[in-house]
């Protein structure tokens, strides 16, 4: 069948390094302190009808509302019918903050003191459903929960809705806010977290990821409709893919086999060859196994002299779990706009035991924007790859 082109016409971001895409972009340049990557000074009330609605919405969904608001403001007036507008939001965990708070409430005060809003606040689909209601978008409103690949999967799946003529516009991205005592203890006790809150992607001394929260939402539109209404096209979704390692619940498959398959499938979906890719925003979590497997996978797919430029923005943002892929897709769109690839902050020493990649370190690198890849690999063996191209 003939697939329709998919344009990106709006970007919205909430992250530790900046609330709003402009502050986020500035923050990506570094430096960053070795702290938990929480979003500070965030006020959810401007994105809701009244303060009561904001209080009845979990923090992860509040982030999604803020990011969607910014993205839609940039996109401008969308003239598609309500039933042709969709929402696809990913999350790794959903309303965990609300769930943990209410479990403590029940334990300390009894069952009758559990909030009647517990269920709608903790649902993983609450952000997608809430956005569809806020804006009256009556097309499909769905979410995916594929751990750290959720944001990437959501954008890829949303693009397919447009490419296959199910929707004309989609709000797509991911959101996460899982800073609870229990979640941190769980990650810490499985030795996944950096003990000193240092995110050092692909560094010889990397010792775990740094937990983060945040959200990013892209406005996707059918290309010709966006052009016809005079929208500024920021980027194009060229292809996407999803695979499973089928290996281990947390560890990547040896040699990055699942990641290799995912990247190769995304190239085929985009109708591109490995030589066409000029930039990769890596998953690059700063964990020993993940970074080594991803570097090996990149070399297997892109081996040779014409290798793409690689960066991991998690050195600044930390790892926002199910929101990570969406935040990194937003980083690619902004890198195209500014014609700069942000550095891999935190990387200091190359790992001699890891395959060599062309990693951006120190400061941002100028580039001529071209087809770019974003990788996300999640617990459960979920792999997601997205390919974006310049809008011009």
Q: Looking at 16, 69, 153, 319, which residue is catalytic?
A: 319
16 is catalytic: no
Pair 343, 325: CB distance under 8 Å: no
- The domains of the chain, with CATH numbers, are 6-235 (3.40.47.10), 240-390 (3.40.47.10)
- The secondary structure of residue 353, as a DSSP letter, is T
148 is catalytic: yes
Mean pLDDT of 282-310: 93
Residue-wise pLDDT for 350-387, tens only, equals 999 999 999 999 999 999 999 999 999 999 999 999 99
Exposure class string for 258-271: b at 16+ Cβ within 10 A, else e: bbbbbbbbbbebbe
**Using CA of residue 309, residue 207, residue 35, residue 67, what is the dihedral sign?**
positive
CA dihedral 184, 189, 192, 197 (to 10 degrees): 60
pTM score > 0.95 for this model? yes
- The secondary structure of residue 92, as a DSSP letter, is S
User: 1 falls in which pLDDT band (50, 70, 90)?
Assistant: low
153 is catalytic: no
Beta-carbon count within 10 A of 33 CB = 9
Tokens 């290798």 belong to residue: 307
User: What is the enclosing helix (H) or strand (E) of 86?
Assistant: strand 85-90
Q: Looking at 16, 17, 69, 148, which residue is catalytic?
A: 148
Residue-wise pLDDT for 175-202, tens only, equals 999 999 999 999 999 999 999 999 999 9
Residue-wise pLDDT for 140-159, tens only, equals 999 999 999 999 999 999 99
Q: Looking at 69, 153, 279, 283, which residue is catalytic?
A: 283
User: What is the enclosing helix (H) or strand (E) of 235?
Assistant: strand 235-244
Residue 389 in this model has a pLDDT that exceeds 90: yes
Residue 2 in this model has a pLDDT that exceeds 90: no
Cis peptide bond prior to 114, omega within 30° of 0: no
Residue-wise pLDDT for 225-267, tens only, equals 999 999 999 999 999 999 999 999 999 998 899 999 999 999 9
């Amino acid at each position: 069948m003939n697939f329709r082109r998919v344009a990106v016409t709006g970007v919205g971001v909430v992250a530790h390094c900046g609330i709003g895409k402009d502050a986020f972009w500035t923050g990506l340049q570094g430096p960053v302190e070795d702290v938990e990557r929480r979003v500070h000074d965030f006020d959810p009330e401007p994105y809701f009808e009244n303060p009561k609605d904001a209080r009845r919405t979990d923090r992860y969904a509040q982030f999604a509302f803020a990011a969607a608001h910014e993205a839609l403001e940039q996109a401008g007036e969308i003239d598609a019918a309500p039933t042709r507008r969709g929402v696809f939001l990913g999350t790794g965990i959903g309303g965990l903050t609300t769930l943990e708070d209410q479990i403590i409430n029940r334990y300390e005060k009894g069952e009758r003191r559990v909030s009647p809003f517990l269920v709608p606040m903790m649902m993983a689909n609450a952000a997608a459903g809430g956005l569809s209601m806020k804006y009256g978008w009556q097309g499909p409103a769905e979410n995916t929960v594929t751990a750290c690949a959720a944001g990437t999967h959501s954008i890829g799946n949303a693009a397919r809705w447009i490419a296959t003529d199910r929707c004309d516009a989609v709000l797509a991205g991911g959101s996460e806010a899982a800073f609870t005592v229990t979640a941190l203890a769980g990650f810490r006790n499985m030795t996944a977290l950096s003990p000193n809150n240092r995110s050092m992607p692909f560094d010889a001394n990397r010792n775990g990821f740094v937990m983060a929260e945040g959200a990013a939402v892209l406005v996707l539109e059918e290309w010709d409709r966006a052009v016809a209404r005079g929208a500024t096209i920021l980027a194009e979704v060229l292809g996407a893919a999803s695979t499973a390692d089928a290996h281990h619940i947390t560890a990547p498959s040896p040699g990055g086999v699942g990641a290799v398959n995912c990247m190769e499938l995304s190239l085929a979906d985009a109708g591109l060859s490995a030589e066409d890719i000029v930039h990769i925003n890596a998953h690059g979590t700063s964990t020993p196994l993940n970074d080594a497997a991803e570097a090996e996978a990149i070399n297997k797919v892109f081996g040779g002299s014409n290798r793409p430029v690689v960066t991991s923005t998690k050195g600044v943002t930390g790892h926002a779990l199910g929101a990570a892929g969406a935040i990194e897709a937003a980083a690619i769109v902004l890198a195209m706009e500014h014609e700069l690839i942000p550095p891999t902050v935190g990387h200091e020493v190359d790992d001699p035991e890891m395959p060599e990649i062309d990693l951006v370190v120190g400061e941002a690198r100028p580039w001529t924007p071209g087809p770019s890849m974003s990788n996300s690999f999640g617990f459960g063996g979920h792999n997601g790859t997205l390919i974006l191209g310049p809008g011009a």
